[in-house]
Amino acid sequence: MASLIHCPHCGPRPREEFTVRGAAMQRPMPDDSWDDWFAYVYLRENPRGPHREHWQHTGGCRRWLEVTRNTATHETLSVRDAALGTEARP
């Protein structure tokens, strides 16, 4: 059975329609420290458990989504539009 992601705009869609960008991180401000920029550009966590990521629905509405999934079980815990904040209703 295919894994489904509940897009807030398109409803349940197969995972293959989405492209993963990576961890959902807050971009530093231009005048923030080099350490903040270094961490933003180069450092990534590799957690076991819930992890927030940016995904794009490239095979559908093309909106950027913030997906929280469990990295150990691949269970999708929540999906919301990254810009609007609207949550999907599973």
Q: How far is the CB of 7 from Zn ion (least distance, A)?
A: 3
Q: Taking CB under 5 A as the criterion, which residues in 24-83 touch Zn ion?
A: 57, 60-61
Per-residue CA distances from 76 to 36, 43, 60 (Å)? 29, 24, 18
Report the residue number, 7 or 67, with the smaller CB distance to Zn ion: 7
- Gap between the Cα atoms of 12 and 46, Å rounded: 27
Interface pick for Zn ion out of 6, 9, 54, 80 (rule CB under 5 A) = 9
What is the maximum alpha-carbon separation in the chain?
A: 48
Compare residues 10 and 23 and give the one whose CB is closer to Zn ion: 10
CA dist., res. 61 & res. 49, Å (int) = 28
Residue 15 in contact with residue 5, Cβ under 8 Å?
Answer: yes
Compare residues 36 and 66 and give the one whose CB is closer to Zn ion: 66
| Residue 7 lies near Zn ion (rule: CB under 5 A) | yes
Residues at the contact surface with Zn ion, assessed by CB under 5 A: 7, 9-10, 57, 60-61
